[in-house]
Chains A and B, each alone.
Chain A
Amino acid sequence: MTIDRQSVPLLAIEELSIEFRTRSGTVRALDRVGFSLKRGETLALVGESGSGKSVTAMAIMGILDDAAHVTGGNITFGGLDLLCASPRALAEIRGREVAMIFQNPRAALNPIRPIGKQIADVLVRHGNVTGAQAPERAIEMLAKVRIPDPKRRAGSYPFELSGGMCQRVMIAMALACEPAMLIADEPTTGLDITTQATIMDLIAELAAAHSMATLLITHDLGLASEYCDRIAVMHAGQIVETSPTAALFANPRHPYTAKLIAATPGDVSCLADLASIPGGLPDLRRVDLPACRYSARCERSADECLLLPVPRLALAGGAEVVCRHPL
């Protein structure tokens, strides 16, 4: 099963809506989420906890919980409709065409298997590499992610490595088969700042070298700003704004984006300059959720915002804002 790596865009998500059936109600996790990603491009999916970023990533990878139901929309990757693909096709694509790295790398690695073997496993499963060649290729991958003394380290176990090194191993496993797209879900949360910088630099470098598309999921606006070409801002399961990075910070069009930027300590000089965002996330189990889920917290909201579907406005430079009263 191969996908068309040259298709434009490489990844297209349209009107994706997902709900989770739970004992305490149906959680409408995603509502008409849509964005696209081109080959070689880096897109950040930014949002606070509960915004639905991880759910989106898992939907692309096809690893959603059994309680999840896709109630609308589609995901097209390299010409292939991921939501309609068979589990077998998805299993083949995972690892070879699209790979994912997670937060807390040590927890994602098998604690009782040496890292060299774990990389070799991926190579043999997806990379058309024989069992005999795999160990050698694994060491090459370790060198590629700049792990010092790779030959010796291939025999190490995850607990012997630092958090930063574990994340490098995850990257090595993810990139072993040179996928067309990498999804990085909060890859540096919990890591030191200097480690974070080197890991993100490494991802950026490898992505550029292989023309790999990167979807970076993060709550850190600074990180998104630093490493991504475009940013998509999510709130309570809805995409509120998508924009090239510079434009987003220079001129945010959605009230939530503006508030998020104003709440992020960055270049402000004093605490009083930061502003919090009033209100809180709506309960996604409610049956009567407003059309715009930010409206309850927004000073620009009016009655139409609650009732009528939110319009999508295309802006210059490929940007888009989903708002009835954009800034």
Chain B
Amino acid sequence: MSEPLLRVEGLKKLYSIGGNALLHAVAGVDLTISRAETVGLVGESGCGKSTLVRLVTRLIDPSEGSIRFEGVEIGDQPARGFGKAAQRAHIQMVFQDASDSLNPRFTAFRAIADPLRRLKGVSGAALRERVEEVARLTGLPGELLGRFPHQLSGGQKARVGIARAIAVEPRLLILDEPTSALDVSVQVVILQLLQDLKDRLGLSYLFVSHDLNVVRLLCDRIFVMYLGRIVESGPAEEVFSAPTHPYTRALLSAVPTPGISSRDRRIPLPGDPRSPINPDPKVCSLYGRCYRSTDRCTETMPPLGDIMPGRQVACHFPILDAAPQPMVAAGE
């Protein structure tokens, strides 16, 4: 079994917020991504996915745990100096808000050329050639290269962000909600572009999104994250059609689909998520909102374990029957 492209083990990120209060942004995550695989990461705000993404792209340092890229440990190299590491060009990211991620004073050309200059030392005619090539690949018309971000549409800015990320031939591309700010018709084009690039360039993707319908289309495997931990993982199609973790079920039941009513299938999650500050290590993170919980859920934190080949779940009472749980949304 060859080494996966990315292997994350026991990754934690804790922030000290005064006194001995520690905020567990990422509370122990195991994750692998293989070559030419698209892995989805879903979760809601506060689940830690942004922090996880910043750890994997080495923008911040982990508190504990290991990050191995192509077999080499990169978690112990400090984030400040990672710009000079050999792996910097291999792990790149497309940001959520293309407007925010492009320097308002740089033309599209300069934005795309920046990583080429810094990481590959390309300049002059070779630089121009490569930028134009990458622009072509991402469907960005050449005449737009001289424009500034405020002169570009949402879709065009998204393409510039993608072009910049793939210019240095990364092996792993993290996509942080790349289409959430785009209209649905532009979203289709960008998603199809991403799929096409992946096939052509042999990239692996870590696709972070809250839009489960989009994740389902693009991803081979998905990881569901809640309160700093992975609660379920497995092949995307299987997890979507037969989720085993109550949170995944609740999440899927909340997704509105055109033409289909899901209101009577709604599984409510009453209340607010538990506090990520000094969480009790014995209590399951979903306790208090979960309709299947018992006292056992307060005695031991359920570990992420195999439930079937290729599928993992962190729950004491995973849902194993195939039928979706009909749940009338009772008045809270």
A and B touch in the complex (CB under 8 A): yes
Bound-complex Cα distance A195 to B269 (A):
9
A148 touches B (CB below 8 Å): yes
Bound-complex Cα distance A65 to B160 (A):
33
A225 touches B258 (CB 8 A): yes
A271 touches B217 (CB 8 A): yes
Contacts of B185 in A (CB 8 A): 48, 259-260, 263, 276-277
B122 touches A (CB below 8 Å): no
Contacts of B325 in A (CB 8 A): none
* Other-chain residue from B183, B253, B255 in contact with A222 (beta carbon distance below 8 A): B255
CB distance from B98 to the nearest CB of A (A): 14
B interface size (C-beta, 8 A) = 42
Contacts of A280 in B (CB 8 A): 153
Which secondary structure characterizes the binding site on chain A? helix
B195 touches A271 (CB 8 A): yes
A263 touches B184 (CB 8 A): yes
CB distance from B286 to the nearest CB of A (A): 12
A225 touches B257 (CB 8 A): yes
Report if A275-B188 is in contact (Cβ < 8 Å); known contacts: A201-B329, A265-B217.
Answer: yes
Bound-complex Cα distance A277 to B260 (A):
23
A196 touches B (CB below 8 Å): yes
A266 touches B183 (CB 8 A): no
Most chain B beta-carbon neighbours within 10 Å: one of A221, A265, A266: A265
* Other-chain residue from A48, A225, A265 in contact with B214 (beta carbon distance below 8 A): A265
- Tell me the number of A-to-B contacts counted with CB atoms below 8 Å: 108
B256 touches A265 (CB 8 A): no
* Other-chain residue from A193, A194, A249, A264 in contact with B184 (beta carbon distance below 8 A): A264
A8 touches B (CB below 8 Å): no
Contacts of B210 in A (CB 8 A): 192-193
B213 touches A (CB below 8 Å): yes
Most chain B beta-carbon neighbours within 10 Å: one of A193, A196, A270, A277: A193
A226 touches B261 (CB 8 A): yes
Considering only CB atoms, which chain B residue lies closest to A165 in the complex?
A: B272
Bound-complex Cα distance A260 to B210 (A):
21
B201 touches A (CB below 8 Å): no
CB distance from B234 to the nearest CB of A (A): 18
Contacts of B54 in A (CB 8 A): none
* Other-chain residue from B44, B217, B271 in contact with A274 (beta carbon distance below 8 A): B217
B254 touches A193 (CB 8 A): yes
CB distance from A198 to the nearest CB of B (A): 7
Bound-complex Cα distance A244 to B258 (A):
13
Which residues of A201-222 have CB atoms within 8 Å of chain B's CB atoms? 201, 219-222
Please list the residues of chain A having a beta carbon within 8 angstroms of any beta carbon in chain B. Answer: 48-49, 146, 148, 162-163, 192-198, 201, 219-227, 246, 249-250, 259-261, 263-268, 270-272, 274-277, 280
* Beyond A221-B258, A271-B192, A276-B186, 18 additional pairs, beta carbon < 8 A: A48-B183, A49-B183, A146-B332, A193-B251, A193-B254, A195-B44, A220-B256, A223-B256, A226-B256, A226-B257, A249-B259, A263-B187, A264-B213, A265-B211, A266-B257, A266-B259, A271-B218, A276-B188
Jot down 12 A-B pairs with beta carbons below 8 A, ordered by A.
A194-B250, A197-B266, A201-B266, A225-B256, A260-B184, A265-B217, A267-B259, A268-B217, A270-B217, A274-B188, A276-B185, A276-B192
